[in-house]
Every structure is written in C-alpha cells, then in structure tokens.
Amino acid sequence: MTQKTGNEYIDRMADDNDLCIPVINQKQIYDLLANVDAMIKAMGFSDYSKPKTILDLDQLQVLDYSKLPFLLPEQINYINQSLGKVKADPQDLIFFGLRSLVSFAWELPQSIRDVQIAAAHEIALQTAISHIADTIDYNFWKEDTLLPYWMRLSYLNALSKIPKEVLVEYRLDKVACIPVKNTVFNASSIVYDGNYYISMNYALEPILKFMNRFLVHFFTTRENFAGPKRTQRALDEIAAIIFHFIRNVPANNIFSYSVIYGVDSATSVQWLTADQVDFIFKHELGHLFYRHPQRLAGVDPAVDNIQARHQFEYEADAFAASMLKMEISATQSHSVVAEDSTIEEKRELKEYIRGFSPVQLLFIYMSFIDKAGDRMRSRLSNICSFVPKNHSHPSPSDRLAKLKQMMPKDVVDQNPLIEYAEKFFNDILQYVDDLEDAELIARMKSFF
C-alpha cells in the first residue's frame, strides 16, 4: 500500500497508477534503444563512451480522462463529447510522448568525432521513434480516449501548491481536464452548465521540453561551439516548432538535434518544463477563480471585447504570480543538478532555473513564436496558407512586463540564462529578417 503524504492531491497521483496504461512496455523501450544502437553502428561508429539515458517516465502513461475519480456525470459526458469533436492523432500522441520520454546526456566532447556521435544518436532516436509511431498496434487506441497523463499530473501538482481553502471556496478542485489536439501555446478554461473544465494542447508539454532542450543546448555550448553558422543551425531546428503553431505541422516533422551535455542539463530541462506547465495551469485556474468565462458571457458581443479579454489575461497571470510568490517564499529553490556532475561549466545552470526564471523563459518562447510566426505569415502568405491568428491575448512581452512588476525585485533580477535567451531568440529573428525571400522560401519549403 502506498504511503500517504498528507497532501491529498499528491496522494491522488499514486492512486492514478491503477488507471494508467503505458504507451509502450519495458521490452519495447529496450528495443527502441537497441535500434538506436544498431543505427549508430550502421553509420560506422563504434568504440565510444555511451551517453547516460534519462527516462521521464511520466510521459510513458496514458489514460481515459472520463474514468478519473470525482467527476460528475455531466463532466464525463462533456469530456467524451469534446474528444469526439476533434479526434486525437495516435501517431502524434505516440511520437510526442516517446520523444519527451527519452533523453541522452553526454560528457563534453573532446573531438569532432565526439560531436558527430552525439548528433548521430539524436538522428537515430528520432528515426526509431518515428518507426514506432508508424507501426504500433493501433487497436490499442481504438476507443480514441487514451490520452497523455502529464496533463492530469500537472493539474494535481498545481492543486497541491494552492491553499486548500482557496480551492474549495472557488471550486478549483472540481475541474475536469481535457487534453485536445490544437495549435495554441496555452490552454482554455471553460464553464459549461455550471461545471468547470480546462482543455490543453496535448503537445504542449513535449513542445515546451523541446524549447528548453533547444535553449539549454545552445546556452551550455555557447563558448565551446561558437561557430559562424550557429544562428542558421538554430533557425533550421526551431522552424518546425514555428510552423507547428502557424500551419499545424505534424509531430514527426519536429526534429530535435540539440545534444544535451551533462545529466544536470537534462534534468534541468525536465524541471523547467514542469514549472512552466505548472504556471500555465495556475493561469487557467485564475480564469476560473475570477469567473472570467461567466463575465465574458456578459460582454455585449456587438462590442469589441478584446479589451476585456486582455484584462482577463492579466488577472489570470496575477493569480498564477501570487501562487508562485507563495511558493518562492516557502522554498527558495529546488536543486535539480546531479551532485556527482563532473562538468564544472554546468554547475551554474542550477542557479538559473529557480523561482521566476521558468516563467520568464515561457514568455520569451511565446514572444519568439509569435514574432517569428508573424514574419512567416507576412513573407510566405502568397505561397501557403496559415492557421488564423488568435488576437484574444495581449502580447507575451506585455504580459511578462506586468508579471515582473508583480514579483519581488530579487526574484526578477536577470541571470545569464535569461539574458542569453533574450539575445539568442532576437538573433534568430534578425537572421530571418536578413534572409532574402528566395533563401527563406528555400529553407522553409519542407513545411509548405
């Protein structure tokens, strides 16, 4: 019997185990890694130091969200109706889940061959995961209701950090979660027949993990690999994420070649991602706390309601920020770096992912995707179509500026990771601006 922690929402995570099903079993994980090894040997590499393999096992689990405890019959019906309207893509689900599951962590390279071997592993892993996503037994998914567990886990984690009296008074503990297929960088809070729901893009956690891997790779190699084509390489890798949000690019087109050096870096990526999803959930709970869906329903549809929507976003951010401030004051930090790390350069990373930093990075990512998407729409609209842009949110940079005003000054102080991220993503945007139209088209044509 699992020992209780005293926090009912943490305890529910253990209770959920009986409802979860692994996407692939232990043998299939072994076969996946064996296939990677075989491909590396086929590329001509042998006799090298193996990387450490890190598994984020939370990404392995799926479940039927309509079978979760404490749901009302009306909520169960609404969940099933919502999932029936927009079918999940099993290939997307499997690919995103497995790509988020497996990470390799390497020692710093001592030669070009070391760099090539590490990069080859990322290519081989991507290929092996794509093969599984294409060939897995889809009878397993025939009910179209098995969806990633990470959203439920993130919801319970968010609840565990909010005062119980707030949850009960505002019914925030009565929310039904719905992972959905869409192309937005956030979630949605809904009130239907008096019941509460939060829906979230089921690719959001894997995409945030991609973004964090991408940034951590370039940050931790900024001195060792500062070559002239670094920004070009960054654009080539991040382009698929940009087009995921503006053209709904399939999951298996999102290739991550960012090599992670050091177990601490790999673990930092996981913590950054968890904290970012945690903030997004608290933001959506803030909408329900302030009764935004009900208040928006009272706005005259004949009147431009963008101003009201923007105000609601700021208020929801304020709710999430107030919860974050409470957490920061209670526990100043959490260390995620392996104590036995031998890579001295990475020891600094643990100092830069605390408190408010994951949230700042979240908004830096959103701002970059927004601005990069605008550039692609402007310059490529005569070649391909795009998903309509959502104007219901203020700009990410405006939201971040207001959030900084809400946080204590010592929490908002810049650190090298934040400073690097701001310049790094601006450099990519400038690189796009400097490309001639013909060259931009040539580099992006695989997404048309």
Q: Are 314 and 395 in contact (CB under 8 A)?
A: no
61 three-state secondary structure: strand
Give the per-residue pLDDT at 337: 37
Residue 363 — pLDDT band, cuts 50, 70, 90? very high
The tokens for 278 are: 């945690």
Q: Is residue 1 part of a domain?
A: no
pLDDT at position 2: 60
- CA-only gyration radius of the chain, Å: 22
Measured CA to CA, the distance from residue 386 to residue 173 in angstroms comes to 37
Alpha-carbon distance of 10 to 320, in angstroms, equals: 19
pLDDT at 17 over 60: yes
Instruction: Encode pLDDT of 209-246 as tens digits.
Output: 999 999 999 999 988 777 778 999 999 999 999 998 89
Contact between 166 and 172 (Cβ < 8 Å): yes
Looking up tokens 């999102």 gives 254
Burial of 216 (0-12, 13-18, 19+ CB in 10 A): buried
Position 122 confidence tier, pLDDT thresholds 50, 70, 90: very high
Is 341 within a domain?
Answer: no
pTM metric for this prediction: 0.91
The secondary structure of 146-173, three-state, reads EEECHHHHHHHHHHCCCCHHHHHHCCHH
Q: Token pair for residue 357? A: 């930093």
Q: Is residue 345 over pLDDT 60? A: no
In a domain, 103, yes or no: yes
* Integer angstrom CA distances of residue 361 from 236, 245, 279, 410, 421: 20, 18, 12, 17, 7
Q: Can you give the pLDDT at residue 48?
A: 87
**Per-residue pLDDT, 142:** 52
Strand 176-180, strand 260-261: pairing = unpaired
Query: Is there a domain that residue 2 lies in?
Result: no
pLDDT exceeds cutoff 90 at 330:
no
In a domain, 93, yes or no: yes
> If DSSP codes are grouped into helix, strand and coil, which group holds residue 421?
helix
- Higher pLDDT among residues 10 and 255, named by residue: 10
User: What is the predicted pLDDT for the residue at 370?
Assistant: 95
| ∠ CA 145-147-150, rounded to 5° | 155
In a domain, 343, yes or no: no
**Per-residue confidence band for 360, with pLDDT thresholds at 50, 70 and 90:** very high
- Whether the per-residue pLDDT at 42 is higher than 60: the answer is yes
Considering the domain boundaries, does residue 45 fall inside one? Answer: yes
Work out the average pLDDT over 424-431: 98
**pLDDT for 273:** 95
Q: How far is CA 12 from the centre of its chain?
A: 23
Nearest to 285 by CA among 318, 319, 312, 311: 319
Distance separating alpha carbons of residues 67 and 89, to the nearest angstrom:
20
Q: What is the C-alpha separation between 223 and 84, in angstroms, rounded?
A: 50
The proportion of the chain whose per-residue pLDDT surpasses 70, expressed as a percent, equals: 90
Distances in Å between the Cα of 106 and the Cα atoms of 206, 242, 260, 444 are 21, 28, 6, 30
Token pair, residue 409, equals: 């000054």
Examine the pLDDT at 255 and tell me if it is beyond 80: no
The least confident of 129-133, 135-139, 431-435 is 135-139
> Cα–Cα distance between 178 and 78 in angstroms, integer?
9
Model pLDDT for residues 269-313, shown as the tens digit of each residue: 999 999 999 999 999 999 999 999 999 888 876 677 888 899 999
Vertex 236: Cα angle to 230 and 241 (nearest 5): 125
Residue 137 lies in a domain: yes
Q: How many domains does the chain have?
A: 1
- Split at pLDDT 50, 70, 90, the class of 160 is very high
Q: Where are the beta strands (DSSP E) in 267-402?
A: none
Separation between Cα atoms, residue 359 and residue 310, nearest integer Å: 19
Residue with tokens 């830096």: 364
Average pLDDT over residues 62-67: 92
pLDDT above 90 for 186: no
pLDDT recorded at residue 335: 36
pLDDT recorded at residue 338: 38
Distance CA 277, CA 209 (A): 10
CB atoms within 10 A of CB 3: 6
253: pLDDT confidence band, cut at 50, 70 and 90? confident
Domain that holds residue 40: 8-332+348-447
CA distance 261 to 341: 11
